[in-house]
Each structure stands twice: as C-alpha cells, then as structure tokens.
Amino acid sequence: MPKLQDLPKPTTPDCVLDHAGILRVLPHRYPFLFVDRLLELEEGKRAVGIKNATFGEPHFVGHFPSDPVMPGVLQIEAIAQVSCLLILLSFDGLDEKRPAFIGIDKARFRAAVRPGDVLRIEVELVSFRRGMGTALGRILVGDKVACEAEILATMV
C-alpha cells in the first residue's frame, strides 16, 4: 500500500487526497466509489472525506424517480470507504490486503440525501488490532446528521 507521501499531490489545495490518490488506495471504481476527496487524515485516529451527490448517479434513477434519495446502504458504504482510507493509510504491512465488512451496528438514518448535496463523511477509528477494526462514522449534509453507524471490518 502506498504511503501518503508517495501518492500524487492533490490538485485541490484544501485536501489530503483527491480522486487520483483515492484511486491508488481504494479498489472501488465507478459506479461504486463514494468518496471524492479526503479532506483530513489523522493517521490511526480519524479521517474526513467528501462525496458530491449528483443527478448522474445511477441509484437516483430508480430510488425514487419522482423524489430521488440516496439509498441508506450506499451512505453506509461511503462511511466504510473513508474508513478504508483511514486504515490503509495509517498502518504498515497491509500491502495486498483490503478491509472487508464483517458488521454494521447502530446504523441510523436521520435525514434524506438528495442530488446536489455535499456529504461530509467523518470517521473515527475506535480500535484496530490483529487485522480487525471498528470505526464510528457519520455523514453530515450542511449541519444536519444524515447517517451514522459503527463499521466493523477485517483485512482480507
């Protein structure tokens, strides 16, 4: 896994990683990549990512045609992807490995996410031992919490 200093420098000055760096770290690709920029990274502790919800995303076509809303499961996936970035950029010895879900706890959906919203994805790493981790995450749209969950992952 590349170290942060070895990744392409962001073209946007207000972020730690832009799309080019994220694509070097995460295995996800469109239409299943749900983080556009990594704004903050405190190695081993916390990370903040951004996702711009746009009308062009395929899930908005059918969920729901007259009232598009980002599915909750995709919001959870966005939290998981920022958690992946946090883990993969924080710990040595994870080459050729990737985090995989083993559990989701305490998930709550508090506000709808719609096309045009900017999702601020905040993740805090609670523990990471022997290749297993727990992270608390939440998504804010403006100053409203849209989603929060506890993510459990293992390295595979």
- Where do the domains of the chain lie, and which CATH numbers do they carry? 4-155 (3.10.129.10)
Q: pTM value?
A: 0.96
Instruction: Identify the band that residue 98 occupies on the pLDDT scale cut at 50, 70 and 90.
Output: confident
Catalytic residue from among 19, 28, 59, 63? 63
Is residue 59 part of the annotated active site? The answer reads: no
Q: What is the 3-state secondary structure (H, E, C) of the chain?
A: CCCHHHCCCCCCCCCCECHHHHHHHCCCCCCCCCCCEEEEEECCCEEEEEEECCCCCCHHHHCCCCCCCCCHHHHHHHHHHHHHHHHHHHCCCCCCCCEEEEEEEEEEECCCCCCCCEEEEEEEEEEEECCEEEEEEEEEECCEEEEEEEEEEEEC
- Residue 6: pLDDT band (50, 70, 90) is confident
**Structure confidence at residue 128 (pLDDT):** 95
pLDDT in tens, 31-82: 999 999 999 999 999 999 999 999 999 999 999 999 999 999 999 999 999 9
